[in-house]
Amino acid sequence: GQQVMQIPQYQHVQEGEDFTTYCNSSTTLSNIQWYKQRPGGHPVFLIQLVKSGEVKKQKRLTFQFGEAKKNSSLHITATQTTDVGTYFCAVPFGDYKLSFGAGTTVTVRA
Amino acid sequence: DVKVTQSSRYLVKRTGEKVFLECVQDMDHENMFWYRQDPGLGLRLIYFSYDVKMKEKGDIPEGYSVSREKKERFSLILESASTNQTSMYLCASGSHEQYFGPGTRLTVT
């Protein structure tokens, strides 16, 4: 599948702080999706970005698609313990298939 | 709500055994997927099915086969389990976004 790099692999955050995780591709993407997997759970779809420069918000989560459609970011403000988990970006390849990044695992210090 | 179920949450098998992992979805999706998830490697696609009896290899199909006899059911088969197949196996269905089952943690001893 298509390679997509996700950084950082681990993010340790103090509760209340902000952080950002990034997803980078060497090729132009038609769209990008983000998923969240809670500890012991399964990946759950969060959002899809399609347009160049698109920004979407879900409460404290802000998702952005780069102008060149080669990268994306997820920014979380005022991190809470409920944000703990692994966040994956996923990019399409072939028909209906997705290639997932390795994920950013977030832990929160209370 | 889309529901994807998997036959077992935990499974322990011996080396050389034949292993069947079952997945059922209730949303009439044509596309179904099997992934394995290992620490630091994300989700890797094993096989993909786009219709009944239709399948396509993913990134890591070696040592696995699949069966899709009914639209709602997609089975992953390990013909002869090996210790390097110890992993979390996730089934998913969907056309654009994917809906995942709870996963089966398989241990091969």
User: In chain A, whose CA is at the least distance from the CA of B43?
Assistant: A100
Residue B40 belongs to some domain of the structure: yes
Task: Determine how β-strand A85-93 pairs with β-strand A71-76.
Answer: unpaired
Residue B107 belongs to some domain of the structure: no
User: In chain B, whose CA is at the least distance from the CA of A8?
Assistant: B40
Averaged pLDDT, B5-26: 97
- pLDDT (0 to 100) of residue A2: 63
Residue B65 belongs to some domain of the structure: yes
* CATH number of the domain that residue B85 is part of: 2.60.40.10
Residue B51 belongs to some domain of the structure: yes
Task: Give the mean pLDDT of chain B.
Answer: 95
Residue B29 belongs to some domain of the structure: yes
* Whole-Å CA distances, A12 to A20, A85, A86, A107, B33: 11, 11, 12, 5, 32
Q: Between A1, A43, A95, which is nearest B59 by CB?
A: A1
Residue B58 sits at the chain A interface (C-beta within 8 Å): yes
Distance of alpha carbon A40 from alpha carbon A35, whole angstroms:
15
Residue B109 belongs to some domain of the structure: no
- pLDDT (0 to 100) of residue A73: 98
Distance of alpha carbon B39 from alpha carbon B23, whole angstroms:
22
* A40 Cβ contact partners less than 8 Å away, ≥ 6 residues apart: none
How many Cα neighbours within 13 Å face the side chain of B55?
20
Count chain A–chain B contacts defined by CB atoms under 8 A: 50
Residue B103 belongs to some domain of the structure: no
- pLDDT (0 to 100) of residue A12: 97
Residue B69: pLDDT over 70: yes
Q: Report residue A73 as tokens.
A: 């970011």
* CATH number of the domain that residue A48 is part of: 2.60.40.10
Burial track A60-74 (b if 16+ CB lie within 10 A, e otherwise)? ebbbbbbeebbbbbb
Amino acid at site B37: Q
Amino acid at site A82: T
Q: Do B50 and A96 touch (CB under 8 A)?
A: yes
At B18-55, the pLDDT tens digits run 999 999 999 999 999 999 999 888 899 999 999 999 99
Q: Which domain holds residue A71?
A: 4-109
* Domain count for chain A: 1
- pLDDT (0 to 100) of residue B12: 98
Binning chain A into helix, strand and coil, the percentages to the nearest 5 are 5, 55, 40
Residue B42 sits at the chain A interface (C-beta within 8 Å): yes
User: In chain A, whose CA is at the least distance from the CA of B96?
Assistant: A96
* Domain count for chain B: 1
- Which residues does A contribute to its contact with B (CB < 8 Å)? 1, 6, 9, 33, 41-45, 48, 88, 90, 94-103
Q: Which domain holds residue B79?
A: 4-98
Over its length of 110 residues, how does chain A's per-residue pLDDT go in tens digits?
668 999 999 999 999 999 999 999 999 999 999 999 999 999 999 999 999 999 999 999 999 999 999 999 999 999 999 999 999 999 998 878 999 999 999 999 98
Residue B108 belongs to some domain of the structure: no
Minimal CA separation from A7 to chain B, in Å: 12
Residue B61 sits at the chain A interface (C-beta within 8 Å): no
Residue B71 zone, left/alpha/beta (φ > 0; ψ -120 to 50; rest) = alpha
